[in-house]
Amino acid sequence: MKANSVSEKLEFSDPQSDSDPASECTLPPNVAMMMPRSLPDSGSLIFRPARSVDLPIVISWLQDAVDCRRWAGPAVTFPPTTESLSREISFTPDNSFSLDEADELIGFGQLIRKTRKRLHTSRIIVAPHRRGDGLGRNLCRALIERTIELGYPRISLYAYQDNPTAIHLYQGLGFQEKEKPEEDKLVTDTVYMELDLEPCLV
């Protein structure tokens, strides 16, 4: 199924807030255009803080060490356990997010503070049996909206050069390839990308 034909309603669940961040921020025109807020309704997507019980499910989505590295980078050892993964990705419910559909976990991603002006998103993954349905795009949209809600003017990410699906997804959302930050200059097999959210903060 093509991404723009999926039917869903994206909702935000945040126990710390009773407001709806989706209604409070304006996405950049390119992002808003790529991600209609409401599509024909045939179910609901819930974006929520992740829980440690989500991790074994995410682990079950990893086929092999190559798959694991492409998803999470070299810091995560394969095969991970819940404990090793939690430690290696510095898991907390504040920096990790899950996407549910009908109470089934179908996506996961992180937002890590890099500087006063930049959040970094990482470890984005969609359940293998649900890929290609537009869920990756919705998950990214929710991570971007959360970044705007937190007041950061930039969101960044890395993708491996041999991950054209991910790079295509991020480009479609308006991320642009940029020069790597100084501390990551020696990493050669990845693409560094940023999305400017400054226009959303006014």
Ligand X SMILES: CC(C)(COP(=O)(O)OP(=O)(O)OC[C@H]1O[C@@H](n2cnc3c(N)ncnc32)[C@H](O)[C@@H]1OP(=O)(O)O)[C@@H](O)C(=O)NCCC(=O)NCCS
Residue 172 touching ligand X (CB under 6 A): yes
Q: For residue 100, list its beta bridge partners.
A: 46, 105
One-letter amino acid identity for 166? Answer: A
Q: Kindly state the smallest distance separating residue 1's Cβ from ligand X, in Å.
A: 8
Residue 191 touching ligand X (CB under 6 A): no
CB 89 within 8 A of CB 123: yes
Q: Which stretch binds ligand X (CB under 6 A): 50-58, 111-119, 148-156, 157-165?
A: 157-165
Q: Phi-psi bin for 118: left (phi > 0), alpha (psi -120 to 50), beta? A: beta
Q: Kindly state the smallest distance separating residue 23's Cβ from ligand X, in Å.
A: 23
Can you tell me which of 168, 176, 185, 198 binds ligand X, judged by CB under 6 A?
168
Edge-to-edge strand order for the sheet containing 96-101?
10-12, 45-49, 96-101, 104-115, 118-126, 154-160, 190-196, 176-177
Q: Kindly state the smallest distance separating residue 181's Cβ from ligand X, in Å.
A: 16
Nearest to 30 by CA among 202, 200, 201: 200
**Residues numbered 64-83 forming contacts with ligand X, rule: CB under 6 A:** 70-71
Distance of CA 98 to the CA centre of its chain: 9
Location of structure tokens 């992180």? 110
Can you tell me which of 82, 84, 86, 163 binds ligand X, judged by CB under 6 A?
163
Closer CB to ligand X, 29 or 132, in the complex = 132
Can you tell me which of 50, 68, 125, 144 binds ligand X, judged by CB under 6 A?
125
Q: Which stretch binds ligand X (CB under 6 A): 17-25, 74-82, 91-99, 135-143?
A: 135-143
Q: Which stretch binds ligand X (CB under 6 A): 9-17, 97-105, 164-172, 181-189?
A: 164-172
Location of structure tokens 């400054």? 198
One-letter amino acid identity for 21? Answer: P
Asked whether the bond before 21 is cis by omega within 30 degrees of 0, the reply is no
Can you tell me which of 111, 124, 142, 144 binds ligand X, judged by CB under 6 A?
124
End-to-end Cα, the chain, rounded Å: 36
Residue 89 touching ligand X (CB under 6 A): no
Residue 159 touching ligand X (CB under 6 A): yes
Residues of this chain that interact with ligand X (CB under 6 A) are 2-3, 70-71, 124-126, 131-137, 159, 163, 165-166, 168-169, 172
